[in-house]
Amino acid sequence: MNSTRDRRFFGTDGIRGRVGQKPITPEDILHLGWAVGKALATHVGSEVLIGKDTRESGYMMESALESGLSAAGVGVVLTGPLPTPAVACLTRASNAVAGIMISASHNPYHDNGVKFFTSDGQKFSDDLEDKIEVLLADNIQTVTSGVMGKARRYNRAADDYVAYCQNQVGVDLDLSDFKIVLDCAHGAAYEIGPKLLSCFGAEIVLAGALPNGYNINDGCGSVHPQHMAELVKKHNADLGIALDGDADRVVLADASGKVVDGDGILYLLGVYRQKDPSVADGIVGTVMSNFGLELACRERGIAFERSNVGDRYVLEKMCAKRWTLGGETSGHIIQLDKGTTGDGLLTAVSVLEVMRSTGRTLAELVSGLRIYPQSMINVPINGSVSAAILLKDETVINAVREVESALDCNGRVVLRPSGTEPVVRVMVEGVDVVQVEILVDQLTRAVVSSSAKY
């Protein structure tokens, strides 16, 4: 099977969809649990660690996965609500053969999904995902009684992860004179987030920490950072932190309420790392990273490379270059010297460590970065046509040429299909903000027009 096509279930980051529709039905998730168990069962007593965010559908999916894994002879370790990076970390630190996170990340509550990690905290390989896809075509065959998987609770999961994060920045980090707004998006970090910052003595203004199963990412968190930014100004805080639903992304705000996204975070961490020869390497961004980040890195003598959008592609390039820092504008930041995947909380604490060490504010730390005007629109497309085919349509191709000609080499155009939703992301970047908005609208109309043909 080709890993880039002909897949019924796996997308760019696990499996995701609308709850109650394929592949997020109880039957599908039960079958998935069994297929994963069959693909991973290496010995009697094998266990898979399962975490989840705060969506109401997480209960259904957790139970279905548990049943499927048990039927395949694999045990289950249940953590309850826990950030995605915590699942990766604790899977690596335990004897689990894999970790599973039940989450649709930044999507609304009516979506859900499943992310997978190997025993060393890495995302599943294409080959392993292909193997699971093949097994999903088979009927479930339950192992005999006596070798079925058992389930147990991991009651210290949150505490163990907090201790891990403390160790990555130093348990003696003193934030007692910091006032911090923390927006947990009513998601997986609603308890563990304030617990971690409290360990360093910070004064916390807590938001988005009352999940009810339906309000995850709703008008809050990194998807809507202005909510956090306004709280920073209201409470005269030193920093604002906005996480997404599964806390693998983070967006910040400085003391004035100005939002700092993943590009700004990569810049300040990259500059700070120049002081340490052991981690003073380059930065991997994506095709969506602002051109200003590339220029600022060049001015500071920091190597910069772009990958395709998606944390797995960022990670691939990081490993190929043997660099330890990379990420996306969305705030999905990977620090390979601290963890194996994007980690919103650990990234935020790392920034606080830089602020404390340098004595500089967030605004001062990103002052050397000029962000070029950039506009991106998610354009819904006709579900009967693939985005890849749509982007080869003559109308779209001609529209791209016209926009590039108008930019006259002083900007960039990126059209790419979403890996998780039936949309095409249309991005234009340039020097003049008015021109950028006009051109992105022009491209959007071309994509909508082409989609209507099919």
Q: DSSP for 201-238, please give it.
A: T-EEEEES----SS-TTSS-GGGSHHHHHHHHHHTT-S
Show the 3-state SS of 327-380: ECCCCCEEECCCCCCCCHHHHHHHHHHHHHHHCCCHHHHCCCCCCCCEEEEEEE
Instruction: Specify the pairing of strand 250-253 against strand 203-207.
Output: unpaired
Q: Is 95 exposed, middle or buried (0-12, 13-18, 19+ CB in 10 A)?
A: exposed
- Which is catalytic among the residues 105, 307, 330, 450? 105
- Which tokens sit at 412? 């960039």
**Checking DSSP bridges between strand 250-253 and strand 374-380, what pairing results, if any?**
unpaired
Helix (H) or strand (E) segment spanning residue 155 = none
Length of the chain: 454
SS3 state of residue 73? coil
Do residues 286 and 307 touch, judged by C-beta distance below 8 A? yes
State the DSSP H helix or E strand holding residue 251, giving kind and residue range, or none if neither. strand 250-253
DSSP bridge pairs for 325? 283, 335
Q: Checking DSSP bridges between strand 75-81 and strand 151-153, what pairing results, if any?
A: parallel
Cα–Cα distance between 405 and 121 in angstroms, integer? 45
The answer to whether the beta carbons of residues 446 and 415 sit under 8 Å apart is no
Nearest CA among 365, 101, 420 for reference residue 248: 101
- Tell which residue, 281, 309, 315, 298, has the closest CA to residue 123: 315
**For the chain, counts of helices (H) and of strands (E):** 15, 18
Tell me phi and psi for residue 326, to 5 degrees: -165, 165
Tell me whether residue 451 is one of the annotated catalytic residues. Answer: no
CB atoms within 10 A of CB 384: 7
Taking alpha carbons only, the member of 57, 68, 72, 55 closest to residue 25 is 57
Nearest one of 178, 225, 167, 166 to 204, comparing CA atoms:
178
Kindly list the distances between the CA atom of residue 346 and the CA atoms of 126, 141, 250, 332, 398, in Å, as whole numbers in the listed order.
27, 41, 9, 11, 44
CB distance 29 to 55 below 8 Å: no
How is residue 98 written in tokens?
Answer: 């894999």
| Active-site residue list | 105
